[in-house]
Amino acid sequence: MTGVKELAYVVYEASSLSDWEHFGVDLLGMQLADKTADTLALRTDEKPHRWLIRRGPADDLAVSGYEVESDTALDEIVERLTAAGVEVTEGDAALAASRKVDRVAVTADPMGNRLELVTGFADADEPFHSDVLLGGFVTGAGGAGHQVLLAQGVARETYLEFYRGLLGFRISDTIVEEVEPGVVADLIFLRCNPRHHSVAFGDMPHPKRTHHFMVEVTDIRDVGTAYDRCMAAGQPFEMTLGMHPNDHMFSFYVRTPSGFSVEYGWGGLLVDEETWQIGTLDRLHSWGHQPPEVVAGLLAAASGEDGR
């Protein structure tokens, strides 16, 4: 089946662009591509942007942009969506120009998340440069990274029919874990290229549409130096260093200025389509990924500073 080939870009609505510029450029190592009074464009590779931040009150995901191989492939996907009763509109020239693409078709998933299906995502005029990274970001055939979104109470079979049946995603695996008494995290991970997943969905308590976006670096040292920069800047952490059992990502989670998180990682698994088997795992983390307050308590106990 013809489907999308990568997560090309994301658009977030944010209340503080200055905080986002500091977070993305100074702490994470992205490159500022463009800035106006109401927008930021951030680069992680040869593309003109991977993250677009626009001023607004939502502090949440606004758009997921997925690239399609060709106009013919996009036409096929649009035909499938339309036949299934999903509304699709053709974006105008102004929208395509703002996204740096040849063509854009706009639709929404069953949770109401806006999707832009695009062709011809251009390269930037200048090479990517970061003032702080030792290496670079992992993109290429794997796209911008991955995101984990909230199912918002929509049945799994409903959103799988959209993402798998209409957009051509493939299931990598699921994780089901009781994270605390009576609270179960149940996530399913979907891929559209060799990256273990480009999007995942879960039913769990969370105030945003998005739980996190993952950016991956080529040099493991950049995970450590970004961790130190975020720590020194007082940027709130969601989880400290650790590793996942399914995509093998070594990473930490830091809060964005909008309240959802960025997973900053290295060493993500690439799927071999010939040998991969779908499985169900019973834990979200192989090791680590502790809440910062738990780590602080353990360190205090180890040093004797907790009064014991």
pLDDT of residue 175: 97
* Gap between the Cα atoms of 117 and 120, Å rounded: 11
* Residues 67, 119 contacting (CB under 8 angstroms): yes
* Gap between the Cα atoms of 256 and 260, Å rounded: 6
pLDDT of residue 204: 79
pLDDT of residue 2: 84
Average pLDDT across each block of 10 residues of the chain; the chain has 308 residues. List them in order: 94 98 98 98 98 98 98 98 98 98 98 98 97 98 97 96 98 93 91 98 89 98 98 98 98 98 98 97 96 94 77
Q: In the chain, count of helices (H) and strands (E)?
A: 6, 18
Q: Structural domain boundaries of the chain? A: 4-127+135-294
In 137-285 the beta strands, taken as DSSP E runs, fall at 146-150, 170-180, 183-191, 199-203, 210-217, 237-243, 250-255, 261-266, 279-281
CA 120 to each of CA 32, 71, 173: distance values in angstroms, whole numbers, following the listed order? 22, 9, 30
Q: Which residues contact 145 (CB under 8 A, 6 or more apart)?
A: 7, 50, 139, 198, 213, 214, 215, 216
CA 28 to each of CA 23, 35, 147, 215, 227: distance values in angstroms, whole numbers, following the listed order? 6, 17, 16, 9, 9
**Three-state DSSP class for residue 288:** strand
Total residue length of the chain: 308
pLDDT of residue 205: 78
- Read off the pLDDT of residues 197-225 as tens digits, 9 standing for 90 and up: 999 999 877 899 999 999 999 999 999 99
pLDDT of residue 307: 60
* Gap between the Cα atoms of 49 and 74, Å rounded: 21
pLDDT of residue 69: 96
Name the pTM for this structure: 0.96
- Read off the pLDDT of residues 130-180 as tens digits, 9 standing for 90 and up: 999 999 999 999 999 999 999 999 999 999 999 999 999 999 999 999 888
pLDDT of residue 133: 98
Per CATH, is 4-127+135-294 categorized as 3.10.180.10?
yes
User: Is beta strand 261-266 parallel, antiparallel or unpaired with respect to 237-243?
Assistant: unpaired
pLDDT of residue 308: 56
